[in-house]
Amino acid sequence: MNRQRMTVSAVAAVSVLSLSLAGCASGAGPAAEGGESTINYVIWDANALEPYKDVIAAFNEEHPEITVNIQALPWDQYWTKLQTQASSKTLPDVFWINEPNAGLYATNGALAAIDTAQGFDPANFPDASIQSYTFDDELYAAPTGYSTMGVWYNTDLFDRAGVDYPAEGWTQQDFVAAATAISDALGSEGVFGAAAAPWTGQETSYNTIYQSGGEVISADGTTSGYDDPGTIAGVKLWVDLAQAGVSPSVAQITDTPIPQYFTSGKLAMMWSGPWNANSLKDSEIADTVAVAPLPTGESDLVTTIQGGADAVSAYSENKEAAQTFQAFLGSKKAQELYGAAGLGIPAYNGVASSFTDAFPQWDLSLFSDQAEHAAPYPVSLNTAAWNTLENEYLSKAWSGELTVEEACTQLAAAMNEVLAAEKK
């Protein structure tokens, strides 16, 4: 799934906490006579529409009696609309869900627990992926794919700056040195060595936090980790780069997203996930793009890992058909189609090569290899509420209004208040 930003607005998430509003059932209407039915499937990535039509065609070879209508909504609209539909109990029959939102929807009765009788087998997936969507011992979504992070880099900019390419086993110090050297050599041309902003935690600071021995949130999701020395160090790495001019400013990244800096040849290194392969292979800099593992720090952990999943509405009038389709989406056949289309690393065990083989110009196996040294993506029941706090307080560190230690300590206190409220 092509998704960099895993956060959603706190307003939408908090609204979903109350799903008691009366409303009509979701979906495309009840099954027609003769067992035929139509279900709606909604996703957040327009680039996935055509590949998923192939998945639906394969599904219809086995189940011609079920018509699937697929729709893609822009990311910024997706969660707002989903929140409204959850409140009125008119959710799509099947839809994409992610880790920051799954707990909120599942524990408020909006998701149907998976019916393994339809053929979905949790044993075919990594345990971490299954646990991410399991609440009160019930599995509520079928994992689709997962992402770890890597470093996409522009070999031409490295060559022009006279800097060695990233190598396996390189360290945070090596990364900072390379980024700084490239900015020093090519900064007069508007080139930056690296890039991060307060809201790019998934791609940047979350990874350096875990590399440095810190944590964003405790393993049980009840306590902030932002006052941990390792966490502060992981954030400081990026703030220092920004304040030194090695990274574009927050204002610049607001105007020009990081991927645009990279594809325009103005950014030497972009920390991001495997989903970039599809767009980069057709970009103007395709011939000078390479990818390397993330650098290492003090911890054995190198990257965060996160993934999307397919959920079924608890309010669907065509629940059996929806769960039949959900089970197919979690099948080896569907996951291989997902990978071969370049949408991401399939979550189904043993089929990661369907994705990596689609891009022979790069060794994308590094993304799946890093999964062995990955920290779970940091979430709680209301992740969005403290994601908003992250942006609020870390922005003050980026701007210099607060030191990194002050910003992180204040963030931890505010975040702990939000987490305490989740227990009530």
Domain with 84 in it: 15-147+306-376
pLDDT at 68: 98
Looking at the domain assignment, is residue 87 inside a domain? yes
Residues 257 and 405 reside in one and the same domain? yes
pLDDT at 26: 53
Helix ranges, 19-74 (H): 49-62
- Any idea what the CATH number is for the domain that residue 154 is in? 3.40.190.10
pLDDT at 22: 34
* Angstrom distances, CA of residue 125 to CA of 82, 145, 209, 335: 26, 10, 27, 11
Looking at the domain assignment, is residue 1 inside a domain? no
Tokens, residue 221: 């999701």
Domain stops at, among 376, 391, 408:
376
Tokens, residue 144: 């689709």
Tokens, residue 291: 């990818």
Residues 132 and 210 reside in one and the same domain? no
Residues 198 and 342 reside in one and the same domain? no
pLDDT at 14: 38
Q: Do 159 and 185 contact (CB within 8 A), yes or no?
A: no
Looking at the domain assignment, is residue 226 inside a domain? yes
Hunting for tokens 């509420």 — which residue is that? 385
Residues 406 and 323 reside in one and the same domain? no
Q: Do 209 and 294 contact (CB within 8 A), yes or no?
A: no
Residue 169: how many other CB atoms lie within 10 Å: 9
Residues 187 and 227 reside in one and the same domain? yes
Residues 392 and 359 reside in one and the same domain? no
pLDDT at 131: 86
Looking at the domain assignment, is residue 4 inside a domain? no
What residue type is assigned to position 144 of the chain?
Answer: T
Burial class (CB within 10 angstroms; exposed 0-12, middle 13-18, buried 19+) of 244: middle
What φ, ψ does residue 10 adopt, rounded to 5°?
-65, -35
> What's the helix, strand, coil split of the chain in %, to 5?
45, 15, 35
Residues 204 and 71 reside in one and the same domain? no
Residues 122 and 162 reside in one and the same domain? no
What φ, ψ does residue 218 adopt, rounded to 5°?
-65, 160
Tokens, residue 165: 């390419």
pLDDT at 377: 92
Looking at the domain assignment, is residue 257 inside a domain? yes
DSSP string, 81-141: HHHHHHHHT---SEEEEEHHHHHHHHTTT-BPPP-GGGT--GGGS-HHHHHHTEETTEE-E
pTM, full prediction: 0.86
Residues 371 and 393 reside in one and the same domain? no
Closest CA to 193 of 261, 293, 288: 261
Domain stops at, among 361, 376, 391:
376
Counted domains in the chain: 2
pLDDT in tens, the chain (424 residues): 544 444 333 333 433 333 333 334 455 554 444 469 999 999 999 989 999 999 999 999 999 999 999 999 998 899 999 999 999 999 999 999 999 999 999 999 999 999 887 889 999 998 888 988 998 899 999 999 999 999 999 999 999 999 999 998 999 999 999 999 999 999 999 999 999 999 999 999 999 999 999 999 999 899 999 999 999 999 999 999 999 999 999 999 999 999 999 999 999 999 999 999 989 999 999 999 999 999 999 999 999 999 999 999 999 999 999 999 999 999 999 999 999 999 999 999 999 999 999 999 999 999 999 988 899 899 998 898 999 999 999 999 999 999 999 999 999 999 999 999 987 7
Distance CA 181, CA 187 (A): 10
* Cα-Cα end-to-end distance for the chain: 33
Looking at the domain assignment, is residue 9 inside a domain? no
Residues 70 and 86 reside in one and the same domain? yes
pLDDT at 227: 98
Residues 137 and 179 reside in one and the same domain? no
Helix ranges, 319-401 (H): 319-329, 332-340, 353-356, 365-369, 383-399
Domain stops at, among 340, 355, 376:
376
Distance CA 280, CA 283 (A): 5
Residues 247 and 190 reside in one and the same domain? yes
Interior angle at CA 363, CA 360 and CA 366, nearest 5: 145
Looking at the domain assignment, is residue 10 inside a domain? no
H, E, C per residue of 241-309: HHHCCCCCCHHHHHHCCHHHHHHCCCECEEEECHHHHHHHCCCCCHHHEEEEECCECCCCCCEEEEEEE
E strand segments, 148-185: 150-154
Looking at the domain assignment, is residue 2 inside a domain? no
Q: Do 201 and 216 contact (CB within 8 A), yes or no?
A: yes
The set of residues, in sequence order, having a beta carbon less than 8 Å from that of 259 and lying 6+ positions away, is: 4, 270, 272, 276, 279
pLDDT at 35: 66
